[in-house]
Structure formats: structure tokens, C-alpha cells
Copies of this chain bind each other. A is one copy, B any other.
Amino acid sequence: MLKDFEKTKPEEKEALNAEIKELRARLIVQQQLLREAKLPVLVLLEGWAAAGKGSLVKEIISEIDPRFYNVVSPVVIPESEARYPFLYPYAAAIPENGKLIFLDSGWMEDTVRKILRLEITKEEYKRRVRSVNEFERQLRDGGYLLLKIFLHIDEEEQYERLRTLSENAETEWRVTPDDLWQHKEYKKFLKAYDDFMEDTNDTIHWHILDGKRKKAAVRDAMKLLVNKIDKALEHGRYVGEPFDEKFPLIKMPKLAEVDLSPTISDEDYKKELKRLQKRLSELHNIIYWKKIPVILCYEGWDAAGKGGNIRRVAYPLDPRGFDVHPIASPEPHELNRQYLWRFWTRLPRTGHICIFDRTWYGRVMVERLEGFCSEKDWKRAYNEINEFERQLTDWGAVLLKFWIHIDSDTQLARFTDRQNTPEKQWKITDEDWRNREKWPQYEEAVNEMLKKTSTENAPWYIIESNDKKYARIKALKIVVKSLEKACEEHFQREFG
């Protein structure tokens, strides 16, 4: 794309100024309309060092309300964020409904630098490209406006600019060793930028602007933005169509086919619990040391015993190395962003374990059944979730999903017991009873979920929990076995 790039022709200054002025006036009106329409906008601005990205943003926003936009500069990912998946800083920065975010460099710059420095392999590069395409599509399908701009200057122009900056005592510090390295390797960067844009041009198109003609670049960027917003305001918030990608799936039984009779004797329970917890404690040490991230997902019927199960898994873990995230209804600032945002921002660092007590699968269960999202939304979610989980396992995470299962009679017995036992009454609410009435609908939704999202990289495990002790031992065994496998694979990669 950069090879065929045609430079912008010099234009008359007065005419350009007039055009920019008019575009600014339109943007001022649009900011209010976007707020009313609750449309979020994300502008990704990539480009060469010294191409003028900062000045471009400044000119675009110069007259709009500072409460309406934000500029995020993740050029250098801080060490603390480097221990998260590579999309994490961007996923965490997505705007709220009705707001606009400029990403002053993002997933492209980080990826291009890393591949040129050989910090990631070609396979990893390909996985990143796939993740980027998925990430962008998910945002678009969730109603986000995305605009991707690359600000281009040629080698000669970059030389001049870096020299001017370096010669001036006040601006010299702005030229970083990374910038000089980029200039030295201009041709390699040219190819790498070009490749990346080719690879990520299908869902959201790239727009290349000529950084040498500053005013024209401002005009062109604003025109793109204003037109995109106009179109979105006209057509309303976009809701993506569901579609199927073929993920390798593990065949799951229907819930009705699950045999819930397994039990364990008290004696075996105690023995097994002790053995498995001891082993898990040892494994946690290795996990922490080898920086393997672990994500455990708990879903299940009300009163199935999720809490007690989680407690038995958490008990042997070093408290400094794990977190439990109870997931309740989303708060306003969470509802105002794409639905996976509140999970992105709760991911564990490498070497840490996090346990989700309820998860993103709320989308295809409670949100589906209570009508909290549209049919297209939840139908799209199976695929989106599979992609999200593949991004996590690509990053190196061990991701296990437990469906804690009981039958309807057992639930009734436990509800009644809670109701009749004073110190357990807080555990039971009217909502639990209401949900119980919808058991058949939930069962159907769960069956569909298990069928469509039990991928090889992130499988579902049905944990029979009519006997809670049996369920705890089964979950612990799966955790221990999976972590042993992950540690083993890690050693193989390191020494094999």
C-alpha cells in the first residue's frame, strides 16, 4: 500500500484553511449528536516517527469539548502492562459510549517493532494479525466507529525532521534511540508497515495520509472522521451479523444426558483433597516462577456449589498470586463499553491465577434470556467469545471452564434448606426463585453454549455436583492435570 502511495499535491493555503474551519464546525455539532446517540469512536493513528501524529491530533481536536475525547499514547508499553496479552492496553482504553478516543499509535507499532527486533516469531506475528482483525471486527460489530490512519513521510523527509529536532536544544530530547533506529532501518520498516497494513485491511480499511503536507493531512483526516460519523448518525448504531468461524470443537453431552449419581466417600474425599491441594500448591510455585497465566471460569446453576468449589481450589494457592472476581450485573461504566471490556480489564498478569465466579458467558445466558442484548448480539457472541479465548490461550494462558451441574430437584432441596436456615438466608433471593422458573430456557441456552464454545484450547468441563465433595475433587483433578501439562510443555519449549 505504501509502495503505490501518491503524495498530496500542494494546495492553496486559504482554501485549505476554509475547508478545515468548516469541518471543525461540523465536528463540534457532531460531538453532541454522538453523545445523544451513545456512539463510541476510536481513531487509531499510526505512522513514522516525526511524521507529526501529535500535531495532527491537536489540530483535529482543537475546538471540540475536552470532556468529549481522550488521547491515549501507548507507544511504549510499560513493563507492568507487558505482562498482559498484547491487545490489553488497547482493549482497556476503548471509549465509553458517546466518547471519542485517539490512540496515538497502537497495536500496529508494537507489533512491527517486535517483529523487526525478532522479539516475536513469524507464527506469533500471524496470530497477532488474526487477533487484531478479530478485535477490530468485534468493536465494529459492537457499534464502535473505527478509523485507522497511517501518517506517511519518506526517508528523506524523516531525515530532515529528525535532524531539525536534534539540532534544537529544546527539542533534542524528543528524538529517542528508537526513532534513530527506525530511521536507520527505514526500508525494513517500510516493508513491515506495508505488510501489516495489507494484513489488516479487510475489516477496517487503512487510510494513508501524506505527513509532508500538514494542512492537507489535517483536512483529510477530519474529512474522513466527519464523514464516518455522519454516516453512523444517519444509520444508527451498527449491530454486527452473527457468523460462524470453524473452531475445532469438543463434542459435549446435553445436560439431560449427564449422569449425576457419582459420589465420593468422606474418607476418599479427605485423602484426595489433601493430596490434590498439596500438588496444586507446588504447581502454583512453578506457574508463578515460569510466568504462566491461568484463568479458571466457573459457571453453573444457582446453589450448585460454585463458592465452596472455588474455595477448595483457592485454599492451597499463595494469596499473593491469585484473585477471585465475582461477576455481578455490570455497572454503568461497564455497560457503556463493549461487553468483554470488564473481563479484559480483570485478566491476570502472567504467573498469576484468576478465578472468575461467573464470566463473559453471561452474554449467552442471562443477557440472552432477559433480553439485555439483541438476538444478533448474543448469537454473535459464541464466535466472539471463542476468538477472545483463543487470544488468551495464544498469549499462553491455561483456560479452564467449569459448568457446575446439579439437577432441578437438588436445587429445590438446597433452596429450601437455605430458606429454612437463618445463617444461610442471605444466600437465597427472590431472583433465585425467578431464575428457577426459567430452568428449561436456561437448560436450552446452556446446551447451546456448551456445544458452540467447547474449543480444544479452552474446553468446558461438566462437574457433577449433586455430591459437592465429588465435584470439588473432580475440579481439583482437572486443574492439577492441566497445570502439570502446561508446566511440562513449558519445560519442553525451554529445554526441548
Chain B residues positioned under 8 Å from A61 (CB to CB): 319
Residue A315 CB within 8 A of the other chain: yes
Residue on B nearest A316 in the bound complex, by CB: B58
Given A80-B79, A320-B54, A332-B331, residue A62 in contact with residue B173 (CB < 8 A): no
Q: Are B307 and A54 in contact (CB-based, < 8 A)?
A: no
Q: Are B311 and A355 in contact (CB-based, < 8 A)?
A: no
Chain B residues positioned under 8 Å from A65 (CB to CB): 307, 311
Residue A66 CB within 8 A of the other chain: yes
Residue A32 CB within 8 A of the other chain: yes
Q: Which of B70, B104, B170 contacts A323 (CB 8 A)?
A: B70
Q: Are B57 and A357 in contact (CB-based, < 8 A)?
A: no
Q: Are B102 and A58 in contact (CB-based, < 8 A)?
A: no
Residue of A57, A58, A170 with highest tally of chain B CB at under 10 A: A58
Q: Are B318 and A58 in contact (CB-based, < 8 A)?
A: yes
A residues 258-297 in Cβ contact with B at 8 Å: 282, 285, 289
Residue on B nearest A66 in the bound complex, by CB: B324
Number of copies: 2
Chain B residues positioned under 8 Å from A318 (CB to CB): 54, 58
Q: Are A310 and B73 in contact (CB-based, < 8 A)?
A: no
Chain B residues positioned under 8 Å from A117 (CB to CB): none
Residue A67 CB within 8 A of the other chain: yes
Q: Which of B54, B66, B333, B423 contacts A314 (CB 8 A)?
A: B66
Residue on B nearest A324 in the bound complex, by CB: B66
Q: Are B29 and A66 in contact (CB-based, < 8 A)?
A: no
Residue A487 CB within 8 A of the other chain: no
Q: Are B285 and A67 in contact (CB-based, < 8 A)?
A: no
Chain B residues positioned under 8 Å from A310 (CB to CB): 66-67
Residue A63 CB within 8 A of the other chain: yes
Residue A255 CB within 8 A of the other chain: no
Q: How far is the CA of A326 from the CA of B69 in the complex (A)?
A: 11
Q: How far is the CA of A81 from the CA of B318 in the complex (A)?
A: 24
A68 to chain B, nearest CB (A): 9
Given A78-B78, A319-B57, A319-B61, residue A67 in contact with residue B102 (CB < 8 A): no
Chain B residues positioned under 8 Å from A456 (CB to CB): none
Q: Which of B104, B332, B333 contacts A319 (CB 8 A)?
A: B104
Chain B residues positioned under 8 Å from A320 (CB to CB): 54, 57, 71, 73, 104
Residue on B nearest A311 in the bound complex, by CB: B66
Q: How far is the CA of A78 from the CA of B77 in the complex (A)?
A: 13
Q: Which of B62, B81, B307, B355 contacts A80 (CB 8 A)?
A: B81
Q: How far is the CA of A311 from the CA of B58 in the complex (A)?
A: 12
Q: How far is the CA of A324 from the CA of B64 in the complex (A)?
A: 12
Q: How far is the CA of A323 from the CA of B104 in the complex (A)?
A: 14
Residue A36 CB within 8 A of the other chain: yes
Residue on B nearest A28 in the bound complex, by CB: B423
A412 to chain B, nearest CB (A): 23
Residue on B nearest A317 in the bound complex, by CB: B58
Q: Which of B57, B70, B81, B357 contacts A67 (CB 8 A)?
A: B357
- Interchain Cβ contacts under 8 Å between A and B, 18 examples: A29-B423, A32-B426, A35-B426, A57-B319, A58-B318, A65-B307, A65-B311, A66-B355, A66-B357, A67-B307, A67-B310, A67-B357, A70-B323, A73-B320, A80-B81, A104-B319, A104-B320, A170-B282
Q: Which residues of A are at the interface with B, using a C-beta cutoff of 8 A?
A: 29, 32, 35-36, 54, 57-58, 61-63, 65-67, 70-71, 73, 78-81, 102, 104, 170-171, 173, 282, 285, 289, 307, 310-311, 314-315, 318-320, 323-324, 326, 331-333, 355, 357, 423, 426
